[in-house]
Amino acid sequence: MRKIITCLLLPLTLVVSSAYADLDTGLAAAQKNDFVTALKEWRPLAEKGNAIAQYYLGVMYDNGQGVVQDYKEAGKWYRLAADQGNAEAQFNLGRIYDNGRGVPQDYKEAGKWYHLAADQGSATAQYNLGLMYRYGRGMPPDYEEAIKWYSLSAEQGYAIAQFMLGWIYDNGQGAPQDYKEAVKWYQLAADQAYARAQYNLGVMYDNGRGVQQDDKEAIKWYRFAADQGFAKAQYNLGVSYDNGQGAPHDGKEAVKWYHLAADQGHAGARYNLGVMYENGRGVPQDDKEAVKWYRLAADQGYAKAQSNLGVMYERGRGAPQDYMEAVKWYRLAADQGHATAQSNLGGMYMDGKGVPQNDKEAVKWWRLAADQGYAWAQSNLGWMYENGQGVPKSRVVAYALYSLSAAIDPSNDNKASGNRTELAEKLTTCEIEAAQVLTTKLELPGNLLKALDQYL
């Protein structure tokens, strides 16, 4: 969360001396982008030791205004002004050392100059000094000291520092977690149109953290941030329209915001855009376009997109049917713990599609998906136990898995209920009772694999 503060030409208060009149003349010229005149006015003063002129000259070399950009020369003039106590020059000299521009990067030296400027009340220096303490750059990490400097900067109205304080209280890093305090600082920064604070404030309203849950208020702040091009806010705004939460259900509006976020590389927006094209929500149905967006998100490692891309290749939708390619994408998602992909990968091994047929490998992936509560994987695993494929044959385990699956997904698409009914006709009363006891153990969160292995 580091932000480089750029140097700016600062307006001067009214002065009357001849030297300051020359400074004012140079400043007026610079404000009109007449840097040649500004340089003509400021250089003689800087060479005579005028700290403000030295600072301005440093700015010109720093930004390449009226001169060839030269960070070393900028650092020279900043140092001359900084040694005379000019706070802006001290801050910019710290920034040069912080970023290693024109000088070797030196966090200790950066911290020294930030400290001098911060002690004079420079809000930007106070914020940057807070960063140095937080990340341990040039000094031992010290959250308490970081918060001290962030607070001093934030109390002067510096929006980035206000946001950072909000983030600290929001996440409980370096200070006790306090959502109300987080909202306070986010609000102050958001009121200054700081997009990240506007987005985070929207999240607080969305989730009812530190404020009463309010979808409409969340939408309001998401929109402010989204209008500034903040991709996360654009994505969340798209989700709101997609789900009709805090805004009218509007597929076209959802697609609009997903597109804006997706074009900035937001993986979730790219995935959701793929879903919209696959299902024809807010756009004409288009499998090829769906594959395009799934692939972009999948290439970023987004598991849901990898799984859906696997489905498209398996079924030959929007891309030529290719079982090996399907397996590739299922595996990438499955390795991230995506239950649907794990179940589908198990199916590929069971059917020998894109991989050699392998019952044990199918069982492996169905076990992982079943343990996450994926009903179809539980049903398939039950079938394997009923028939003794890839596992020891156990009708009791099969019945228990069918029961668990049917309770999670009672739809007709799930074969678990029918399988259980057929199996029940083959079981004794004692076997059914044992299966029912096992089902209660399988239902415990995170206990499925343990219960199965203990029973067998």
Residue partners of 109: CB distance under 8 A and separation at least 6? 94, 97, 103, 138
Residue partners of 8: CB distance under 8 A and separation at least 6? 59
* Residues 1-156, CATH architecture: Alpha Horseshoe (1.25)
The whole-number pLDDT of residue 87 equals: 97
pTM recorded for the entire structure: 0.87
Task: Report domain extents, the chain.
Answer: 1-156
Q: What is the pLDDT of residues 322-370, one digit of tens each?
A: 999 999 999 999 999 999 999 999 999 999 999 999 999 999 999 999 9
Residue 348 to residue 342: CA distance in whole angstroms: 10
DSSP assignments along 73-85, one per residue:
HHHHHHHHHHTTT
What are the strands, taking DSSP E only, across 281-436? Answer: none
Task: List, in sequence order, the alpha helices (H) in 83-194.
Answer: 87-99, 107-119, 123-135, 143-155, 159-171, 179-190
Closest to 87 in 3D by CA, of 51, 122, 111, 46: 122
Q: Contact at 8 Å (CB) between 222 and 188?
A: no
Q: What is the pLDDT of residues 101-143, one digit of tens each?
A: 999 999 999 999 999 999 999 999 999 999 999 999 999 999 9
* Alpha carbon 234 to chain centroid, angstroms: 13
Closest to 117 in 3D by CA, of 148, 99, 91: 91
Residue 48: CB atoms within 10 A of its CB come to 10
**pLDDT band (50, 70, 90) for residue 22:** confident
What are the strands, taking DSSP E only, across 224-320? Answer: none
Provide, rounded to the nearest whole percent, the portion of the chain with pLDDT above 90: 94
Q: What is the pLDDT of residues 150-176, one digit of tens each?
A: 999 999 999 999 999 999 999 999 899
CA dihedral 299, 301, 303, 308 (to 10 degrees): 0
**pLDDT band (50, 70, 90) for residue 20:** low
Please state at what angle helix 375-387 crosses helix 359-371, rounded to 10 degrees. 140
Closest to 330 in 3D by CA, of 366, 358, 360, 357: 366
Closest to 340 in 3D by CA, of 300, 315, 311, 299: 311
Residue 20 to residue 272: CA distance in whole angstroms: 59
Residue 252 to residue 233: CA distance in whole angstroms: 17
Whose structure tokens read 């169905």?
366
Residue 292 to residue 309: CA distance in whole angstroms: 9
